[in-house]
Amino acid sequence: METAQLSRKDQIDQTATALFRTRGFAATSMRELAAALGMEAGSIYSHIRSKEELLHRICFRLAEEFFAGFDQASADDALPAAPRLRRAVESHVRVLTTDVAASAVFLHEWRHLSEPARTEFLALRERYEAGFRELIAEGAAAGELYAPDPAFAALTLLASLNWLPSWYRPGGSFTPPDIAHRLANQLLFGLEVRGN
Amino acid sequence: METAQLSRKDQIDQTATALFRTRGFAATSMRELAAALGMEAGSIYSHIRSKEELLHRICFRLAEEFFAGFDQASADDALPAAPRLRRAVESHVRVLTTDVAASAVFLHEWRHLSEPARTEFLALRERYEAGFRELIAEGAAAGELYAPDPAFAALTLLASLNWLPSWYRPGGSFTPPDIAHRLANQLLFGLEVRGN
DNA sequence: TACTAATCCTAACGTTCGTTAGCAAAGAAA
DNA sequence: TTTCTTTGCTAACGAACGTTAGGATTAGTA
């Protein structure tokens, strides 16, 4: 394992992410974080302003990555909605698997953000979900997708994807692209065998 | 709203469930819980032994309900696997929607259980997931379901269902049976329109 | 009437929390 | 050589934490 030349601040972010993921934000103490970094609790404040700043940075950085991936995946206007949806799903899975710990924090710990960051975060998440919703609605309107309620379909779809960090372990039997492919298939084709 | 004749202990359980759900177990203080009940923090200990006992009761009660529902839904040996899976999905959704707050705690706060309860809980959850896995495998073996990897399919399926407590609000535009039906359809048939 | 169980209070315990102040060492930049 | 930045320490702050002890009140039961 190469330590690389991460700045001390980045090391703190990284260790905090891992701890917030496994123990939760509220249950992780600064002394615990410091111990994991081999330093004293007070010393951390030479690098950050507050505990919440750590959470804030993790959550909003991930939000940016999700958006960047989605925008790139759904941009191609020449493509029908269904394949663009597939690409968006694959992008979402890529972000999730690239940074599992941060993703888990992003998904579960945002409620410990205090206002106004919390509201701001929820607005971002809603906007992201809207992207999927519109893609599905577009596909449904064009007859490519069967989705009597695009909002419902979008929620279910993202739900399946977002559970991933709770069971995915890097180095397991599935590679991230493999997972992305399987998930997209299962969600788009379903489980039931139909006569075709 | 009828208060009914809930015992004080049940009122505590109920209020604790609501608080653990919205603020998280670790971030909920006994003083906060007491205030929500209109009493002092120390008084709670006339009814319970510890804060963790509250979490323990919530988590294990829900586990029992999930098992009871699944066993009933999947028992009928005359039925093929696919419809039994559908019934199991509907049962799962019923438990989730009947007790949203407790379900959310069950799904997210179990990691704050200390040993050996934590390990015990995880074993229960694994056994529950295995039930779905076997149902899917059975259906796949019989050619009713398309699931190249039943374990993967089971994870994805439960993932879609378990996200429900994060958006479902009682009294919304969907009734619980409606949700169960739609979810089962979407998961079993998928989104993509196929030629049939 | 006396006893019991349920319910809640005040006051405090020891511990841990996030955070700050003040100081020190070390290396890079001037 | 001086200065600045980075990095870390010790010691402590006030606040909040889960929990306990001991006593009071009330309502139901014997």
CA distances to B19, B40, B59, B106 from B102, in Å: 10, 24, 8, 6
pLDDT at B189: 67
Which strand C bases fall within 7 angstroms of a protein CB? 6-12, 16-22
Q: Which residues lie below 8 Å from residue A181, measured CB to CB, with a gap of 6+?
A: A90
B152 closest CB neighbour out of A23, A182, A193: A182
| CA within 13 Å, CB half, B188 | 23
| Angle at alpha carbon of residue A133, lines to A83 and B89, rounded to 5° | 90
pLDDT at A190: 58
Could you say which residues 45-64 of protein chain B have a Cβ atom less than 7 A away from any atom in strand D?
45, 49-52
Q: pLDDT (tens digit, 0 to 9) for every residue of chain B, 196 residues total?
A: 333 467 888 999 999 999 999 999 999 999 999 999 999 998 999 999 999 999 999 999 999 999 999 999 888 778 888 889 989 999 999 999 999 999 999 999 999 999 999 999 999 999 999 999 999 999 888 888 888 888 888 888 898 889 889 888 888 888 888 888 888 877 776 544 443 3
Query: Token pair for residue B173?
Result: 């535009």
Inter-residue contact B193 to A143 (CB < 8 Å):
yes
CA distance B161 to A127: 22
pLDDT at A191: 45
B3 CA, D22 C1': separation in Å?
Answer: 32
B101 CA, C9 C1': separation in Å?
Answer: 31
CA distance A58 to B86: 38
Average pLDDT over residues A144-155: 84
CA distance A106 to A95: 11
Inter-residue contact A145 to B175 (CB < 8 Å):
no
pLDDT at A95: 94
Inter-residue contact B154 to A156 (CB < 8 Å):
no
Tokens 């359809």: give the residue. Answer: B185
pLDDT at A103: 96
Residue A30 CB lies within 7 Å of the nucleic strand C: yes
Q: Please state whether the peptide bond connecting residue B116 to the residue before it is cis, i.e. omega within 30 degrees of 0.
A: yes
For residue A72, the surrounding DSSP H or E stretch is helix A51-74
CA distance A18 to A14: 6
Query: Token pair for residue B3?
Result: 């208060």
pLDDT at A44: 94
Could you say which residues 29-68 of protein chain B have a Cβ atom less than 7 A away from any atom in strand C?
34, 38-43, 46-47
Report how far apart the first and last C-alpha atoms of chain A are (Å, whole number).
50
| Per-chain mean pLDDT for chain B | 88
